[in-house]
Structure 1
Amino acid sequence: MNTVDYQVLKSAVSWLEQGKRLALVTVVRNWGSAPRPLGSLFAITADGDFTGSVSGGCIEDDLMRRFADAFPDKLELVRYGISAEEMRRFGLPCGGTLELVVEPVRDAAALRLLLDAVTGRRLVQRRLNLHTGESRIEPAEIDVSIRFRDDELVQVFGPRWRLLIVGAGQVSEYLAQMAPALDFAVYLNDPREEQRRNWQAGEVEWLDGMPDDAVLAFRPDKRTVIVTLSHDPKVDDMALMEALKTEAFYIGAIGSMASTETRRARLLTLDVSEEQLDRLHAPIGLPIHSRSPAEIAVAILAELVQLRNRLVSTSAPSSCAVGVTERSTACPR
């Protein structure tokens, strides 16, 4: 799940444990230019504490004004539509329509289970009955963010994405600084002591050992990204020969088109099959004519976000819901 929504859950648990009344707001449907993706969270207390986002500010301000007058005591569906008046008042993108589930939450323990699942790298889903307001948490098998029907909201929560960088250099430093904002927990391996000694990008989790051993010990899964950025074949190839045999979501290597061809030839001699080699993204990143280390890091992250969002959009089922309690304009069909 994304870092912002994870923080929403952490804050919500803390406020509930302090005895505060809390409402959890979830984006469940949108049309047109949606400000925030489905499943985005916003939490607010009766005391005016709030965190998260469902629109970027305008809708949150309206919710806070409404809740200051009457804090919700039952579950409801709130819709912000496409009328000219609402466009002018809330500043929604052109043609945008947004539906939110507003849910009073009283049980901190239930949300705590979600946080524990994310920390323990378990994929779980929370089922919310839209008629009774009751919820339950259970293991999840399909990694989609949200399923919304007339009687039920099912939202999947899971571990953060992991990014393993092999090779400590300038590109790695920029990548390590930028990636956490995009929901990647960053890990780094480099057997060269001088590279580790001169690392300047702040806190990362270092993995010891040679790159092949580090990859195996890391146990890559479908939420793992592995990138090799050392420019040293003795380092990069060791990581790639093991990474390409795993189920990692993305495996990339830095280098030119010419160096990529020679790398492919080397890897074929290292017990890597043609099929496995076809999974390699090289040259790494989107072709944005990047030159500087910072631009290369941007290109890498841009490709990761593109592929990750494509995965979510193609795996998400269509959803439809009948409003529990509606507000504002009718929904386009």
Structure 2
Amino acid sequence: MDSLDTEVLKQAREWVLAGHIVHLATVVKTWGSAPRQAGAMLAVRKDGRVIGSVSGGCIEDDLIARAQEGRLPDKPEWARYGVSQDEAARFGLPCGGTLRLVIEPLAKSDWLEQVVASTEAQQLIGRWLDMSTGISTLTNARPGQLTEVKEDGCHFVYGPHWRLLIIGANQTARALAQIATMLEFQVIICDPREEFTADWDMPGVTLQPGMPDDAVLAIQTDSRTAIVAITHDPKLDDMALLEALKSKAFYVGALGSVRNQSKRRERLLSFDLSEEEVDRLHGPVGLQIGSRTPAEIAVAVGAELVQVRRALEDERVGGLTQPPASKV
């Protein structure tokens, strides 16, 4: 299952290859209570077909009408919505909300093919768009790097900014991997039990070989990594947790009942973990929504990942730090 951004770019590419006139609208800056954040995308065909979203709906209606009437630009162009309170009301924006977009025509191009390929492989990639020439230049990108606007162009970042290491390759892991991919996580699965991984066939999800504790070290766990242990086997789950709770991972969780979590806490404290490190553990994992089935548990975990990640995102600031690389 692709991320939502990948779906927009893939569909746009298919439309272009089929000979349709297609425009891509991307939110590049917001002010006030804007409904979508920078980086949100929408692709629209000349006949009004659309995929993606840049607002609550009314801006989409305006872009569709402009596409059908042939009023979208033939080169990259800035657009603002909701500058005045009257416009905010007209376009369905909260009072005072303002969006700045880049609207650009799409054509058969190497940059679109390469960006789609990279995002399908769950890899980050950047693109510099020169507003005067319309030339796109692919660049390196780093996790946490945001859309950046300059006088002469914009820098976009596509692909997952966050990683999720799942310990266990069971049904819950499969459901969680799908949800996490849609939430823009790069998903990694570790399960040393060959009977669980032999038939694993999820495109875009990486199987990390080795034991769980080695996996935590091997992926170079950082502050944009979440680790969730769901094997139901304390020997495997605890191995991962012993390393994960000492790491910089922003989220560490483990599946199990309240009673099992109490026993797990006692085991972890008997090793070299401090009270503070063990207190980082989210257990039972996920928001408490009464989940029982693998899919419901995956929803609960995904929701808590979003909750914790959003709090961190609000504190962080990214930016363009590397110059453009090769023109395509």
TM-score range, shorter chain: 0.7 to 0.9
Amino acid at match of 1:79: R
**Contact 1:223/1:249 (8 A) holds in 2:** yes
Q: CA deviation at 1:39?
A: 0.7
Instruction: Give the aligned partner of residue 241 of structure 1.
Output: 242
Q: CA deviation at 1:191?
A: 6.2
Q: Deviations over 1:201-227 (max 9, x none)?
A: x96867777544666676756654321
Instruction: Give the aligned partner of residue 42 of structure 1.
Output: 42
Q: Distance in 1 between matches of 2:15 and 2:289?
A: 47
The unaligned stretches of length 5 or more in structure 2 are 321-328
Q: Structure 2 matches for 1:96-135, cutoff 5 A?
A: 96-135=97-136
Instruction: Give the aligned partner of residue 152 of structure 2.
Output: 151
Note if 1:140 corresponds to 2:141. yes
Q: Distance in 2 between matches of 1:113 and 1:318?
A: 22
**Contact 1:164/1:226 (8 A) holds in 2:** yes
Q: Structure 2 matches for 1:166-181, cutoff 5 A?
A: 166-167=167-168, 175=176, 178-181=179-182
Q: Deviations over 1:237-264 (max 9, x none)?
A: 1332344566655321134666545434
SS at match of 1:79: strand
Q: Distance in 1 between matches of 2:125 and 2:208?
A: 28
- Relative to 1, partners in 2 of residues 1:175 and 1:153: Cα closer, same or farther, differing over 3 Å? same
- Relative to 1, partners in 2 of residues 1:20 and 1:72: Cα closer, same or farther, differing over 3 Å? same
The unaligned stretches of length 5 or more in structure 1 are 320-333
Q: Distance in 2 between matches of 1:272 and 1:299?
A: 27
Identity %: 49
Q: Distance in 2 between matches of 1:148 and 1:154?
A: 7
**Contact 2:24/2:42 (8 A) holds in 1:** yes
Q: Distance in 2 between matches of 1:245 and 1:76?
A: 48
Q: Distance in 2 between matches of 1:249 and 1:112?
A: 33
Q: CA deviation at 1:68?
A: 2.1
**Contact 1:120/1:159 (8 A) holds in 2:** no
Q: Deviations over 1:183-203 (max 9, x none)?
A: 346565556799x59x9xx96
Larger deviation, residues 297-306 vs 79-88: 79-88
Q: CA deviation at 1:137?
A: 1.0
Instruction: Give the aligned partner of residue 5 of structure 2.
Output: 5
Q: Distance in 1 between matches of 2:59 and 2:86?
A: 14
Instruction: Give the aligned partner of residue 314 of structure 1.
Output: 315
Q: Deviations over 1:168-188 (max 9, x none)?
A: 678657645644442346565
Q: Deviations over 1:83-102 (max 9, x none)?
A: 45434433223332222111
Q: CA deviation at 1:6?
A: 1.2
Q: Distance in 2 between matches of 1:221 and 1:108?
A: 35
Q: Distance in 2 between matches of 1:179 and 1:123?
A: 16
TM-score where L is the length of structure 1: 0.74
Instruction: Give the aligned partner of residue 59 of structure 1.
Output: 59
**Contact 2:56/2:92 (8 A) holds in 1:** no
Note if 1:300 corresponds to 2:301. yes
Q: CA deviation at 1:265?
A: 4.5
TM-score where L is the length of structure 2: 0.75
Q: Distance in 2 between matches of 1:149 and 1:314?
A: 22
Amino acid at match of 1:44: V
Q: Structure 2 matches for 1:195-274, cutoff 5 A?
A: 211-212=212-213, 224-244=225-245, 248-255=249-256, 259-260=260-261, 262-267=263-268
Q: Distance in 1 between matches of 2:138 and 2:94?
A: 34
Q: CA deviation at 1:109?
A: 0.8
- Relative to 1, partners in 2 of residues 1:306 and 1:69: Cα closer, same or farther, differing over 3 Å? same
Instruction: Give the aligned partner of residue 78 of structure 1.
Output: 79
Amino acid at match of 1:63: L
Q: Deviations over 1:7-60 (max 9, x none)?
A: 111122223333433221111122233222211111123344432111132211
**Contact 2:43/2:51 (8 A) holds in 1:** yes
SS at match of 2:151: coil
SS at match of 1:315: coil
Q: CA deviation at 1:161?
A: 4.8
- Relative to 1, partners in 2 of residues 1:20 and 1:165: Cα closer, same or farther, differing over 3 Å? same
| Count of residues in Structure 1 that have an aligned counterpart in Structure 2 | 314
Q: Distance in 2 between matches of 1:171 and 1:106?
A: 40
Q: Deviations over 1:135-185 (max 9, x none)?
A: 211112352231123333111123475544334678657645644442346
Amino acid at match of 1:235: L
Quote the RMSD (CA, aligned, Å): 3.9
Larger deviation, residues 273-282 vs 292-301: 273-282
Q: CA deviation at 1:308?
A: 2.2
